[in-house]
Amino acid sequence: MLKKNDELELLITGTTHDGSGVGRHEGFALFVSGAIEGERVQVRVLKLLKNYGFARLLAVLEPSPDRIDSDCALWPRCGGCVYRQMTYRKELSIKTAAVESCLKKGAGMERILPPCLPSPRREGYRNKCQLPVGLDRDGRVVCGYYGKNSHRIVPLQSCSLHPPVFDRIAASFCRFLESHKISVYNEENQRGLVRHLCLRLAQKTGQIMMTVVINGDRLPHSGQLVDALTRQFPDIRSIYLNHNRRATNVIMGQECTLLWGEERIVDELCGIRLALSPLSFYQVNRDAAETLYTLAAKMAQLSREDILLDLYCGVGSIGLTMAGQVKEVYGVEVVPAAVEDARKNAALNGIENAQFICGDCKDAVDYFAQNGISPTAVVLDPPRKGCDVHVIDEVTRLAPDRVVMISCNPATMARDVALFAERGYTAQQIQPVDLFPRTSHVECVVLLSKAGD
């Protein structure tokens, strides 16, 4: 019988949803971070639960032909990358298989999918980072990323997933806090001021937005901070404070104060200029997002006669990139600030055939009924929790010809595909797309059509 700290050999036969290898000892599943399917490994048992356990990789006895040396000094201590020890080809294969597995479990679909589309860039692709700020063992101010399955900060040296300038800004910011004796937040007692440093780069224009998340109303020496960082980093165009006084692991609060610079930075996506504020949702991999949105438009088979409904529209990035292909676009979003951004983005691009409604899907359906509007195509981009059932009910009640769903969570995507099928819409195409290289996340684009169409 297995016990904690037992050492044993395992053959890795699969991969979990979070990127760990799966091996079995006398039928009992053990999850091993850093192990690759097909490898024989030496492990030490860390934790045993009723139906599965966790083990630490001690040695790779028979390596996979897809194993490579990690090029990151922080791997595997940092919890960001889980596939840095393997070829990108293998990573894409795992992501395709993960989506197929979710479809089988969540929708009862035995389906061989086309290979996951690769990201145009695998390094430096993240246009946004959110770095927790804390103290190291020596009491020095550091920021970085949380270690896997922990809230222990792994101090940032350099991260190959985001632009190198982020590393330099973060280092300067930490030195400033330390030299001016500005306190940092302690999660255990909820004391201290500075919680996170958030950086966003508009990759097409090079503009940078910096947001300091604080547990309070003001940041001491903020004028000096602005002077120091804007002199050193001239691409910084906007510096905000975000006020988050709650005892929560949610990074940002809803209140922002502009310290210096422009209210928004501007990026370009699929030929559309998009103004971004601190709370705006925007795909973190701009280049891969262009692949994603182009594919979604192609699946939607749009024409100049179509009326497009863009649900969960955020700042309007999807609907506005498709506006030139359709008669009208209606975007729906429940967050008022996002709707305001969407309207400003339409004006920024001179787009006159797009309207944005603040509310949920039911509000949109009522608006359409009152105004005699019948959407012929719907694009859905729900959060990780997937679509609310009432959204699916309302969408299918509108009876559009085509529904395209962009999903960042294969498990909830599969569940929603099954719910659409119950309401007469079947999945005609499903395409995985890699927006997050070296991590376990994968996006999907799904075309749903009415049965018989």
- 78, 198, 270, 408: the active-site residue: 408
Q: What is the mean pLDDT of residues 399-408?
A: 96
What is the pLDDT, as a whole number, of residue 453?
A: 60
- Closest C-alpha to 357, from 343, 371, 347: 343
What is the pLDDT, as a whole number, of residue 452?
A: 60
Contacts of 282 (CB under 8 A, 6+ apart): 127, 128, 200, 267, 274, 276, 314, 315, 317
What is the pLDDT, as a whole number, of residue 337?
A: 85
Q: Is a pLDDT exceeding 90 seen at residue 370? A: no
Residue 440 and residue 287 in contact, taking contact as beta carbons nearer than 8 Å: no
Contacts of 317 (CB under 8 A, 6+ apart): 269, 272, 274, 282, 283, 289, 293, 345
Unique residue bearing structure tokens 């039911």: 362
Q: Which residues are annotated as a binding site?
A: 283, 312, 333, 381
Q: What is the mean pLDDT of residues 59-65?
A: 97
Q: Is a pLDDT exceeding 90 seen at residue 80? A: no
| pTM recorded for the entire structure | 0.93
Torsion of CA 347, 350, 353, 357, to 10 degrees: -10
Q: Is a pLDDT exceeding 90 seen at residue 342? A: yes
Q: Is 159 a catalytic residue?
A: no
Reported in sequence order, the residue ranges of 279-337 that DSSP labels E, i.e. its strands, are 307-311, 328-333
Structure tokens at 215: 């547990």
Percent of the chain with pLDDT over 90: 85
Q: Is a pLDDT exceeding 80 seen at residue 185? A: yes
Structure tokens at 245: 């006084």
Q: Which residues are annotated as a binding site for S-adenosyl-L-methionine?
A: 283, 312, 333, 381
Reported in sequence order, the residue ranges of 326-367 that DSSP labels E, i.e. its strands, are 328-333, 354-358
Q: What is the mean pLDDT of residues 37-41?
A: 97
What is the pLDDT, as a whole number, of residue 307?
A: 97
pLDDT band at 75 (very low <50, low <70, confident <90, very high): confident
Q: Is a pLDDT exceeding 80 seen at residue 4? A: yes
Unique residue bearing structure tokens 């179509």: 306
Torsion of CA 445, 384, 36, 40, to 10 degrees: -130
Percent of the chain with pLDDT over 70: 100
Distance CA 13, CA 37 (A): 5
Q: Is a pLDDT exceeding 90 seen at residue 252? A: yes
What is the pLDDT, as a whole number, of residue 235?
A: 98
Order the strands of the 425-433 sheet from edge to edge: 354-358, 328-333, 307-311, 377-380, 402-407, 443-450, 425-433
Q: How far, CA to CA in Å, does 261 sit from each of 161, 207, 237, 418?
A: 27, 11, 6, 48
Distance CA 382, CA 417 (A): 13
What domains does the chain contain, in order, with CATH numbers? Answer: 7-89 (2.40.50.140), 128-269 (2.40.50.1070), 284-450 (3.40.50.150)
Residues for the chain: how many in total?
Answer: 453
Secondary structure string (H, E, C) spanning 125-138? CECEEEEEEEECCC
Torsion of CA 315, 321, 326, 331, to 10 degrees: -10
Contacts of 78 (CB under 8 A, 6+ apart): 72, 144, 145, 146, 147, 148, 154, 159
Contacts of 368 (CB under 8 A, 6+ apart): 330, 374, 375, 398
Structure tokens at 435: 């927006």
What is the pLDDT, as a whole number, of residue 73?
A: 83
